[in-house]
């Protein structure tokens, strides 16, 4: 059984719902973020999508988005992730801010590094730059972006972004990207830029190697699968083994997980085989202590109840963990 101390040390982040198929006002997003700060969350995380095709709407509806029952076949729009974080930074001055995760294919890597360094400056050094290859081929097609070699493109973009943030300047010519005399001026508040998080689920050997080589933080995305500590252990063990295989001191890699939380009264219907976090606040808190006992430092939660009401319904779990 996990100890109470593990729960007290565990950080919690809210995945802020910035997606919808119905009108969504910025004030609603800001109100949720302020409620999260008041409820004891440690961080706010934002998804990086622009327009998901209609085939994704049912998944997002089950994720707790603001979707009318008669509108689940409509495309789903998002507020742009880095704009959201830049706006939240002065309004929510205490919490960590992050992308979960930004798709490297949606922005030129020099531009992506510049945006990240700028948001880090606006937030006073509170940004975590979560990066990934992207999971929506339809979204790439909408924007006229290439869909071939996603992992190869991701790794090269990651190399460019990481080098620019760490060193401040770069010349690079590769199969997918070229930057010449690139320099970050002015620099953000941290001389090596924000930490880089890489998210995975059931990663293959190449992605495991990329995490061990480039990431400051690893995230195991359990959102649509199994939120249990046992499932988290399976994902975490793969990453720890990759660190050993590729000569990385595993203690230098911060490990995090992201889970779906099925709040009572939300009407959420898990898909076959899906096991979101559920039960009483005490039961869910004990499950999260199980994550902490594995060495997980931070858990991002996606709530199945939208708006401030969802954050308020989750608050007793935070109090139980902190108690």
- Strand extents, DSSP E, the chain: 11-15, 19-20, 43-46, 51-52, 76-78, 96-99, 102-103, 127-132, 169-173, 178-183, 196-200, 217-221, 254-261, 298-303
Task: CATH number of the domain at 56, please.
Answer: 3.20.20.30
Q: Which domain holds residue 55?
A: 4-322
Q: Encode the chain (323 residues) as per-residue pLDDT tens digits.
A: 565 566 679 999 999 999 987 789 999 999 999 999 999 999 999 999 998 876 544 454 444 444 444 444 578 899 999 999 999 999 999 999 999 999 999 999 999 999 999 999 999 999 999 999 988 888 888 889 898 999 999 999 999 999 999 999 999 999 999 999 999 999 999 999 999 999 999 999 999 999 999 999 999 999 889 999 999 999 999 999 999 999 999 999 999 999 999 999 999 999 888 999 999 999 999 999 999 999 999 999 999 998 999 999 999 999 999 88
C-alpha 323/C-alpha 313 separation (Å) is 17
Question: Per the structure, how many domains does the chain have?
Answer: 1
Please measure the distance between the N-terminal and C-terminal CA atoms of the chain and give it in whole angstroms: 17
C-alpha 118/C-alpha 187 separation (Å) is 8
Strands 169-173 and 178-183, by their bridges, are antiparallel
């Amino acid at each position: 059984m996990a100890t109470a101390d593990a729960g007290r040390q565990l950080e919690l982040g809210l995945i802020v719902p910035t997606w919808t198929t119905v009108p969504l006002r910025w004030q609603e997003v800001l109100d949720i973020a302020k409620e999260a700060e008041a409820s004891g969350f440690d961080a706010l995380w934002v998804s990086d999508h622009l327009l998901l095709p209609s085939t994704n709407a049912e998944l997002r509806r089950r994720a707790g988005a603001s979707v009318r029952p008669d509108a689940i076949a409509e495309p789903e729009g998002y507020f742009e992730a880095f704009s959201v974080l830049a706006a939240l930074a002065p309004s929510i001055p205490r919490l960590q801010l992050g992308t979960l995760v930004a798709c490297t294919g949606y922005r030129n890597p020099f531009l992506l590094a510049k945006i990240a360094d700028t948001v880090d400056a606006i937030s006073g050094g509170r940004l975590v730059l979560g990066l990934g290859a992207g999971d929506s081929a339809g979204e790439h097609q909408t924007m006229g972006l290439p869909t071939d070699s996603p992992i190869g493109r991701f790794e090269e973009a990651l190399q460019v972004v990481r080098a620019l943030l760490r060193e401040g300047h770069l010349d690079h010519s590769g199969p997918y990207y070229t930057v010449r005399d690139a320099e970050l001026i002015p620099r953000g508040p941290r001389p090596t830029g924000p930490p880089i998080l890489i998210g995975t689920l059931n990663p293959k050997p190449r992605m495991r190697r990329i995490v061990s080589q480039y990431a400051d933080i690893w995230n195991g995305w359990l959102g649509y699968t199994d939120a249990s500590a046992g499932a988290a252990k399976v994902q975490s063990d793969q990453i720890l083994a990759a660190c050993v295989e590729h000569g990385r001191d595993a203690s230098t890699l911060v490990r995090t997980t992201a889970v779906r939380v099925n709040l009572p009264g939300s009407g959420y219907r898990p898909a076959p085989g899906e096991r979101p976090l559920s039960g009483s606040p005490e039961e869910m808190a004990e499950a999260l202590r199980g994550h902490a006992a594995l060495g997980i430092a931070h858990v991002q939660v996606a709530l199945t109840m939208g708006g401030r009401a969802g954050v308020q319904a989750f608050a007793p779990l935070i109090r139980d963990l902190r108690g």
